Copies of this chain bind each other. A is one copy, B any other.
């Protein structure tokens, strides 16, 4: 593959190359890349939602096994997911990148191809950003702007006693995908000619490398006339997110182990790794599924909704947050989710 140094075109040349044929699709995107700031116009009946994420090489991604195109795709998706989690629709992103000389123009083309694919599929406009150099690893900072209907934005703090706790899709697969990639990386270190065999594990890799944001669930809820009382996306693990909702709503919860949705491949892989499956599903993280609560009156409607599982209910705060195991035992939920600032990171 050709490798062209970024220094041959410089910062402005690179930005031009990556952004010059971007066409704005959303009416709220008035002016995109090319000035001191992007200009947006939101109608008075909308609220503007803003979320941001900073991804650091070696902490959030490992370029040994993450292709740059996938990285671009995922970097956008994780931000879209936060906007959907407010019952909103993502409309614009700004993209800031810090890269070292290790990266070529072609690398940046790949990253942007993934980013633009995600934007195309979710009808989001790239309206600005910053491209600069890094002395060490790559840093990616994306800010996503979206819109919510006034009065229909869903926060984490609205869960009420007797509300049903729901989760979309299945949990733990992205974490298993990461374990799988880490194992193959370790194996490849010893024997570079070995070709990893991922047959039967495609779903796990897809969940790790090419996650999607659940815009379909937001649409279904809206179509069914259900407005969740609280919602957030699952990025740090179900346990951690449940505790956020309960803390912010001043509530407790009961969640049933047997109802936690887990894919077959996740279960097989946990067995192979000799890991506790429920722990993986509770604390794995990077699922980008939606966790939300609905009034008990919506029980019938939500039970019929494809892709949504009812996993428990909200209680009074003094009941605490508990997991009920298959054999009826109660355990207090603890946040053991992914928390980079508590890990034993090397300087």
Contact = CB atoms under 8 A, between A and B. Distances in A.
Interface of A: 6-7, 10-12, 14, 30-31, 34-44, 47-54, 56-60, 82-83, 85-86, 88, 92, 94, 96-102, 127-137, 139, 141, 143-146, 148, 150, 153, 155-157, 231-233, 248, 339-343, 345-347
B48 A42 contact: yes
B54 A341 contact: no
Contact of A30 (B47, B129, B145, B232): B47
A96 B232 CA distance: 20
Contact of A52 (B39, B41, B94, B98): B94
Nearest to A58: B135
Given A59-B133, A135-B58, A341-B132, A96 B30 contact: no
A10 B341 contact: yes
A339 B11 contact: yes
Contact of A37 (B54, B88, B92): B88
- Oligomeric state, in copies: 2
Given A134-B59, A248-B34, A52 B347 contact: no
B12 A339 contact: yes
Contact of A342 (B7, B37, B85): B7
Given A86-B37, A155-B31, A340-B11, A135 B59 contact: yes
B128 A92 contact: no
A293 to B, nearest CB: 14
Contacts of A148: 39
Contact of A347 (B38, B47, B101, B132): B101
Contacts of A85: 36-37
A49 B39 contact: yes
Given A35-B156, A36-B232, A39-B47, 9 more contacts: A10-B341, A11-B339, A35-B155, A37-B146, A54-B96, A54-B139, A56-B98, A60-B132, A133-B341
A10 B336 CA distance: 12
B56 A133 contact: yes
Q: Which of A94, A134, A341 has the most CB of B within 10 A?
A: A341
Contact of A141 (B96, B99, B128): B96
Contact of A54 (B14, B34, B98): B98
Contacts of A34: 156, 248
Q: Please name the 4 residue pairs, one residue from A and one from B, whose CB atoms are nearest each other, closest first.
A: A141-B141, A54-B96, A44-B44, A37-B51
Given A132-B59, A134-B59, A37 B83 contact: yes
A176 B130 CA distance: 25
Contacts of A133: 56, 59, 340-341, 343, 345
B36 A132 contact: no
A44 to B, nearest CB: 4
A131 B341 contact: yes
